[in-house]
Amino acid sequence: MTSTGTSWSSPPPTGAVDSERKAPPQRSFFAELPVLMVVAFVLALLLKTFLIQAFFIPSASMEPTLLVGDRVLVNKVVYDLREPRRGEVVVFSESGAAPLAATDEGLVRRALRGLASGLGLGPSGEKDFIKRIIGLPGDRVAMRDGVVMINGEPLPEAPTTEGGYLSERDLTDFGPVRVPQGHYFMMGDNRPNSSDSRFPSLGTIPAEQVVGRAFVLIWPLGRLDTLSGADYGDLAAGAPAQLGAGAAVAAPAA
């Protein structure tokens, strides 16, 4: 039998045909942009609420450690796992501080402001401070000739010219005062220009007002650095328990 000359070719693979028929249309970037923005907002909101928040430094009270315009990241869960330690830089909220936002602010504007705050791009919705923990619960804190005294012992801190973190010493005497249980005595590194726990307008800070520990300086990039706590040697621990039992803040000595 002779061949008719007809050539038979194998059919294309079924999978290739199906993929060509079922390939979904490509969505443009601009069509997906609203979804990406919502996802970014939700993630930023979750991070800000539960884990990490960025803060903008608005004043010179922590110079030279932190400058005006710097941005830091704050760990908001570390103090759920352990107690705050002397020498750590922390963010805390002032008691009774009113929100900065107006009550008639629109929903979209509130959302954008919250996202910017969570990313450290603008002021937060409440009055926050950033200082260094100097006194722990039960401590007796005083200042003599620019030297901080903790339970009668000098705190080993120094100006930057001597390898420390202070801008300069503040020679104004203070105290002694006793730090109540559940409170912390905060001071700025720029001692002559810091409104902190030395002043009645702020006083000692309750533990529940501490937002978290500042652990890294993220902006500007040229100043990128970690914010480790100061090492005070034997003074790192707080006062003996009997010093803090039922203690109240004493009036500063004349």
**At 67, which CATH number?**
2.10.109.10
Q: Is residue 8 part of a domain?
A: no
Structure tokens at 89: 């830089």
For residue 90, report the phi and psi dihedrals to the nearest 5 degrees: -130, 155
Higher pLDDT, 224 or 22: 224
Amino acid at residue number 222: G
Whether residue 234 contacts residue 161, with contact meaning beta carbons closer than 8 Å, is answered with no
Known catalytic residues are 61, 131
- What is the C-alpha separation between 29 and 47, in angstroms, rounded? 26
Q: What is the pLDDT of residues 124-159, one digit of tens each?
A: 445 789 999 999 999 999 999 999 999 999 999 999
Full residue range of the structural domain in which residue 46 is found: 42-134+185-231
Q: Is residue 62 part of a domain?
A: yes
Whether residue 189 contacts residue 88, with contact meaning beta carbons closer than 8 Å, is answered with no
Which pLDDT score, from 0 to 100, does residue 231 have? 86
Which pLDDT score, from 0 to 100, does residue 4 have? 52
Q: How many residues does the chain have?
A: 254
Q: Is 203 left (phi over 0), alpha (psi -120 to 50) or beta?
A: left
Mean pLDDT of the 81-103 span? 71
Which pLDDT score, from 0 to 100, does residue 51 have? 80
Whether residue 175 contacts residue 196, with contact meaning beta carbons closer than 8 Å, is answered with no
Interior/surface letters 112-142, b for 16+ CB within 10 angstroms, e for the rest: ebbbbbbbbeeebeeebbbbbbbbbbbbbbb
Q: Is residue 177 part of a domain?
A: no
Whether residue 156 contacts residue 147, with contact meaning beta carbons closer than 8 Å, is answered with no
- What is the C-alpha separation between 167 and 155, in angstroms, rounded? 16
Element (H, E) at 142: strand 140-144
Q: Using 50, 70 and 90 to split pLDDT, how confident is the model at 104?
A: very low
- What is the C-alpha separation between 84 and 93, in angstroms, rounded? 15
CB atoms within 10 A of CB 51: 12
Q: Using 50, 70 and 90 to split pLDDT, how confident is the model at 116?
A: low
For the chain, what is the largest distance between any 2 Cα atoms, rounded to a whole number of angstroms? 125
In sequence order, what are the residues at sequence separation of 6 or more whose Cβ sits closer than 8 angstroms to the Cβ of residue 47? 53, 118
Q: What is the pLDDT of residues 154-183, one digit of tens each?
A: 999 999 998 899 999 999 999 999 999 999
The answer, yes or no, to whether residue 72 has pLDDT greater than 90, is yes
Whether residue 189 contacts residue 67, with contact meaning beta carbons closer than 8 Å, is answered with no
DSSP letters for 151-211? TTEE----BGGGTSSBSS-----EEEEEPPTTEEEEE-SSGGG---TTSTTT-SEEGGGEE
Q: Is residue 224 part of a domain?
A: yes
Tally of structural domains, the chain: 1
SS3 for 104-117, per residue?
CCCHHHHHHHHHHH
Q: Is residue 116 part of a domain?
A: yes
Q: Is residue 212 part of a domain?
A: yes
Q: Is residue 6 part of a domain?
A: no
Q: Is residue 129 part of a domain?
A: yes
